[in-house]
Structure 1
Amino acid sequence: MAYKTCVSIAEKTPKKLKQTLAKALKKSDYAEIRFDFLNPNAVPEALHLIRKDLGRCVSTLRPIREGGKFSGNEKNRISIIKLIAEYDPFLLDIEYNTLRKNRNLQRYLKNTDTSLLVSWHNFKQTPTVTVLKKKLLEMKKFSNNIKIVTMARSVNDGSRILSLYNNSKNVKLIAFSMGNFGKMSRLLCLLLGSPYTYVSLGKPIAPGQFSLDEVKSIFTGRK
């Protein structure tokens, strides 16, 4: 089957980021740049160094409250997000809760025609199907590119998150569960219509994440 991968990259310096990105894009369709792992002052340099590859990159600046590493104030984070948007990445990942509370940012992204990936994470559990469906509908107001990720505490949790694909008409949905119980949902989502799945080059960046070589081996029988 045809499948696509997105390597999550969480480097701490612009130089190392550029090196790892080059390595990732030789083997993967896309890469996710976790800009929140960088010192905020280093983001402009990083953007300049990787500008030619951003057309294949999902760009993320995740705050601590959303499971990321960015510890600065929200005003500064929004300024950096706007800077990233100016480089026109493949997708700019912004949390649903951030967009919901910031109309100024909504207008800016609309005016700049930024390709937006609206994301929502629950690191504690997987809500009911009713709650998940409602969340999906709310997120569709901002973009047709949607990412919903939850923590699986049982096999049923993984099945529940995947049931969202029954309601994903006209939406590019990336939905799966974290943790050991949700690990297979990272693969099954590809069979159900996810545009890609997140992988690592080695050590997982998120709970239950497969490496790029593991996914290639599973789907093609070779690394």
Structure 2
Amino acid sequence: MTSKTVNLRKLTLGSGRPKIAVPITGKTQSDIIDQAKTIAEKQPDVVEWRIDFFEGVTNPDQLTDTGTQLRQVLGDLALLTTFRTKGEGGELSLDDRAYFKICADVINGDYTDALDVERFHDEDQVKATVDKAHANNVAVIMSNHDFDKTPSEDDIVSRLTSMTELGADIAKMAVMPQSAADVLTLLNATNRASSLLAQPIITMSMGDLGKVSRISGEVFGSCLTFGAVGAVSAPGQISLDDLRHDLNDLKLG
């Protein structure tokens, strides 16, 4: 089955070379806007705003004001907004109520093109957040991150499948390898899931061992990879310039 594509502004995810996202990890509004200006000059495909780093994230007015300014700086660049919880490698621990309130605040702010929604929260609230996002023309990248290990191939495929069943436009899974065999597990699962599902997927094996997974998406079926301009947001991220060269070297056809 050929994966359908997802459009974010002028960008199409799910066809051709994997696209590159670069994270913004600033703690203050001025830090965030400064990072955005530097990143925008490099013209990645997607900018990911990691709002769990932002000190004003729980204040809806500060969040919306910063998001609106960020939107102006980025112009036509696609924006993915992500609150990564502590348990999945993020900066803050929040209960479900606070987490989903922030998701709603982002959607209501009308500045983002896509929202990251973590898979393993209350399923009714996950579904409600997906519905709210779609009603406001915001795409949903549903995600799960395992910073300790690499689940089995069947488990990875099952988790990605469950995300699409909950309404995700794109399903994302990041895992930590302990061996080369773990990296192969992730790549095999990616290959399987990309052929099974009607939605694009994003996968990666983290750390140095998993770097090969960040550049081989076109072969195995991952539509987006994460690079760095300055600060990295996950172990194993490769600089944007190097990532562009790597992806071009490995392009098909």
Q: Does 1:173 align with 2:197?
A: no
Residues in 1 aligned to 2:161 and 2:136: alpha-carbon distance in whole angstroms: 24
1:105 aligns with 129
Cα 1:216/1:113, change in 2 over 3 Å: closer
SS in structure 2 of the partner of residue 184 of structure 1: helix
Q: 1:14, 1:49 within 8 Å by CA — same for their partners in 2? A: no
Cα 1:62/1:104, change in 2 over 3 Å: same
Counterpart AA for 2:181: N
1:132 aligns with 156
Taking CA–CA contacts closer than 8 Å with sequence separation of 6 or more, which of the two structures ends up with the larger relative contact order? 2
Residues in 2 aligned to 1:219 and 1:105: alpha-carbon distance in whole angstroms: 33
- The C-alpha deviation readout for 1:132-184, integer Å capped at 9, x for no partner, is 12112111112130111100111111111111223214221111111121111
Counterpart AA for 2:113: F
Q: 1:146, 1:172 within 8 Å by CA — same for their partners in 2? A: yes
What are the ranges of 5 or more consecutive residues in structure 2 without an aligned counterpart? 1-15
- CA drift of 1:72 comes to 4.5
1:77 aligns with 99
Counterpart AA for 1:25: A
1:50 aligns with 70
Deviates more, 1:133-142 or 1:104-113: 104-113
1:119 aligns with one of 143, 167, 176 = 143
Residues in 2 aligned to 1:220 and 1:173: alpha-carbon distance in whole angstroms: 20
Deviates more, 1:141-150 or 1:163-172: 163-172
SS in structure 1 of the partner of residue 216 of structure 2: helix
- CA drift of 1:117 comes to 0.3
SS in structure 2 of the partner of residue 7 of structure 1: strand
SS in structure 2 of the partner of residue 194 of structure 1: coil
Q: 1:161, 1:177 within 8 Å by CA — same for their partners in 2? A: yes
Counterpart AA for 1:67: G
Counterpart AA for 1:143: A
- CA drift of 1:65 comes to 2.0
- CA drift of 1:2 comes to 3.9
- CA drift of 1:189 comes to 1.8
SS in structure 1 of the partner of residue 120 of structure 2: helix
Instruction: Give the structure-1-normalised TM-score.
Output: 0.88
**Comparing both structures, which one devotes a greater share of its residues to helix?**
1
Residues in 2 aligned to 1:34 and 1:159: alpha-carbon distance in whole angstroms: 29
- CA drift of 1:73 comes to 4.4
Residues in 1 aligned to 2:240 and 2:231: alpha-carbon distance in whole angstroms: 10
Q: 1:152, 1:180 within 8 Å by CA — same for their partners in 2? A: no
- CA drift of 1:68 comes to 0.9
Cα 1:144/1:106, change in 2 over 3 Å: closer
Q: What's the RMSD between the two structures over aligned residues?
A: 2.2
1:188 aligns with one of 211, 216, 222 = 216
SS in structure 1 of the partner of residue 112 of structure 2: coil
Cα 1:76/1:157, change in 2 over 3 Å: same
- The C-alpha deviation readout for 1:54-111, integer Å capped at 9, x for no partner, is 8611110112122211334442332221121132522211100136251443442343
Residues in 2 aligned to 1:82 and 1:21: alpha-carbon distance in whole angstroms: 23
- The C-alpha deviation readout for 1:22-68, integer Å capped at 9, x for no partner, is 22123211111101101123422211211333861111011212221
Q: Does 1:7 align with 2:29?
A: no
Cα 1:134/1:71, change in 2 over 3 Å: closer
Counterpart AA for 1:162: L
Count, aligned residues:
221
Deviates more, 1:27-36 or 1:165-174: 165-174
Deviates more, 1:75-84 or 1:206-215: 75-84
Cα 1:160/1:72, change in 2 over 3 Å: closer
